[in-house]
Structure 1
Amino acid sequence: MRSDFFPTLTGKSLFRENELVYVNRSDELKQYNGIMHKHDFIEIAYVILGKGLHVVGDQKLSTKKGDLFIVNYDIPHGFFSDPVDGTEPIVYNCVFMPKFLDSSLLGNMYFQDISSSFLFKSIFPEESPKNADLRLKGTEYRDIGDLFHKMYEEYKNMNKGYLEIIRAYLIELIVKVFRLIDNDRQSNISTQNQQLVFQAVEYLRNNYNTDIRLEELAMKSFISKNYFSRLFKEVTGINFTDYIQNLRVDEACSLLKNTDMKVIDIANQVGFRDMKFFYEVFKKLTGKTPGEFRKG
């Protein structure tokens, strides 16, 4: 589906003068209800009433109260009424340019992680959502809904300092949504993805003393290096490098206890080529030097 077939809704047409954010309800901008369109800003859409369809690119997604969608710029999408009973979804929209967020956050590593994972989605199809980015209910629904309502009221009333308050609410919203997406991802790792990691773990256990690279295992799994790295940590709870180091140190401990091999030979046998690095990792993981461990 070519995105140049659809009308573009620009921030300039929505934002007030010298502003980079716009908050509304879908029943207030009806000319864009029920038609495909794209835009030059980031949109967070939250269904508060009703049900229907949300079409994103070539995907048709059933949507209902509690669904949250993140739509990046230049992505064709649109909300449509339910094809069975004609019910329309009512949606809170918060649209903004990245520059609206506090520039001091750009130096914060946690927020950089959010920006890369949330605001600017991966191009890899393995991570494309098959339904809403989040489907909320109960406490989560009320929590996120309250933030949207507060932003909406601040934007509508325009009391002194309203932009600063909206910015604060938006940052809180992004962080909370990121947490929920992360938690949801943790609880919904597919069986196929788990199997890929289990195969990689088996390979590491049999080859930990060789020069194993993350890129090599990712290629064996036919997925990207970055995606494999995140998947590995999601399944095992530990990153790739730490996992290998644990395997090597565990085997070194066994050899120290059960053989008379020299420490340098043990280091080489388990895969360490740098003795100084071996001592650093061993001390970090066991709290002792190899000599102390052997004596203890």
Structure 2
Amino acid sequence: MNGIIAELRGENFFDLDIDIFVNREQEAFSLGQHTHDFVEINIVGEGCGFHYIEDQVVQVKQGDVFLIPIGTSHVFRPSSPERDKVLVVYNCIFRNKAMENWSHHFSENSETIRMILYPQERKGRWLQFHDKHSTLHNMIHNMHCEYLKRNQGCEIILNTTLIQLLIMLQRMEMEKEYMPSPNDKLDDVMHYIKNHYSKNITAQNVADHFYMSISHFQRQFKKLTGHTFIQYLQNIRIQKCCELLESTDISIHEIANLVGYLDMKFFHALFRKKTGVTPRKYRQNFQEWKIE
């Protein structure tokens, strides 16, 4: 796993004389939310789980496709730490300078292409698609096989397939077969939750704040996020706990209080359910990884 994490952090990338890297990973809870200085196309190849992107938590399943521009924080995690809950993701990773010689193939008005070429203008944004007919899955699977074999002409095949992959994403975008980042109303709701998650907030509090009936709020929230309000709030709180465990020496009791949990028994049970380990073990694992 440490080798995989090193690769994801850019230490072993692009060992061929090209600007493309392709891998297939079974996701786990051990990798924290992170940013990269390269572009990613992620395709869920098997299973289901969650994709943490910036301050959003997106439910994912086989066939979901994401375009993650430079500087966007994210991480994939399976739906449960149980071994039978699998989330497999293909990652096609490339530097945006690879686009310099291909730009004439694409529309300048495409949001897909603008996210790649002008990440500073699209900071914190991303695109989500769904591969209905496994077209993109087959393409990235072939890229992965080609990358592993390293046969003669590998560079040409990887480059041309990536161009095809981007053209397909651009077509899906133009045909409205994509799901952009949440709409403005949901953005406001998420911003509110992000700023109040440490308080004793409820779905009723949020619904009242946005002048919505509780039934309408819960329906729309589940439809747009794939989670109930309490599931989403728990995910945000546990994600923040992980960040504090990694970046501070604050006691576990204090961290629980900071994110809104006063009942330590409930907190420990929830943390273990979400991550597969206790808070103490999570911090210990992270510290051991840093030393290695």
Percent of aligned positions that are identical: 24
SS in 1 for 2:86: coil
Distance 1:153 1:136, change over 3 A: same
Q: Which consecutive residues of structure 1, in runs of 5 or more, have no partner in the other structure? A: 1-6, 194-296
Look up the SS of the partner of 1:184 in the other structure. coil
Change (3 A) 1:13 1:143: same
* 1:204-228 Cα shifts (integer Å, max 9, x gaps): xxxxxxxxxxxxxxxxxxxxxxxxx
Please name the residue that 2:152 is paired with: 160
Distance apart, 1:12 and its partner CA: 4.8
Task: Indicate how the Cα distance of structure 1 residues 69 and 152 shifts in structure 2: closer, same or farther if over 3 A, else same.
Answer: same
1:104 Cα deviation after fit = 3.4
What displacement does 1:73 show? 1.7
User: When you count helix as a share of all residues, which structure comes out higher?
Assistant: 1
Amino acid at match of 2:153: G
Contact 1:10 1:40 in 2 (8 A): no
1:115 to 95, 113, 116: 113
Residue 72 of structure 1, CA deviation:
1.4
Contact 2:44 2:63 in 1 (8 A): yes
Counterpart for residue 66 of structure 2: 69
Secondary structure at the counterpart of residue 89 of structure 2: strand
Task: Please tell me the residue identity of whatever aligns with 2:68.
Answer: V
- Give the alignment's TM-score, normalised by structure 2: 0.51
Q: Which runs of 5+ in 2 are unaligned?
A: 1-5, 186-292
Contact 1:48 1:65 in 2 (8 A): yes
Relative distance call for 1:22 and 1:31 in structure 2 (3 A) is farther
1:32 and 1:85 map into 2 onto residues whose CA distance is 11
1:84 CA displacement: 8.5
1:174 aligns with 2:169: no
1:92 Cα offset (Å):
0.5
Which amino acid in structure 2 is aligned with residue 171 of structure 1? I
Q: Which has the higher contact order (CA 8 A, sep 6+)?
A: 2
What is the aligned partner in structure 1 of residue 129 from structure 2? 134
CA RMSD, 1 decimal: 3.6
Identify the residue that residue 237 of structure 2 maps to in structure 1.
none
- Report the 3-state secondary structure (helix = DSSP H, G, I; strand = E; otherwise coil) of the residue aligned with 2:175: helix
**Residue 148 of structure 1: how far off its partner (Å):** 0.4
* Structure 1 position 112, deviation (Å): 7.0
Measured against aligned partners, the alpha-carbon deviations of 1:92-129 in whole angstroms (never above 9, x if no partner) come to 0000112234x43234562674521565468579x956
Structure 1 partner of 2:20: 21
| Larger-Rg structure | 1
SS in 2 for 1:14: coil
Q: Structure 1: which amino acid aligns with 2:175?
A: N
SS at match of 1:62: strand
How many residue pairs get aligned? The number is: 177
Shift of 1:178: 1.3
1:182 CA drift (Å)? 2.3
The answer to whether residue 74 in structure 2 is matched with residue 82 in structure 1 is no
User: Within 2, Cα distance between the matches of 1:8 and 1:152?
Assistant: 15
Per the TM alignment, residue 18 of structure 1 is displaced from its structure 2 partner at its CA by 3.0
Of 42-51 and 74-83, more deviation after overlay is shown by: 74-83
1:65–1:184 distance in 2 versus 1, CA, 3 Å: same
Distance in 2 between residues matched to 1:15 and 1:31, nearest whole Å: 23
Aligned residue in 1 for 2:205:
none
CA–CA distance in 2 between the matches of 1:148 and 1:180?
16
CA-CA distance at 1:70 after TM superposition: 1.1
d(CA) in 1 for partners of 2:152, 2:173:
33
1:15 Cα deviation after fit? 1.5
In the superposition, the TM-score normalised over structure 1's length comes to 0.51
**Compared CA separation, residues 19 and 121, structure 1 to 2 (3 A):** closer
Is the 1:35–1:79 Cα contact (8 Å) retained in structure 2?
A: no
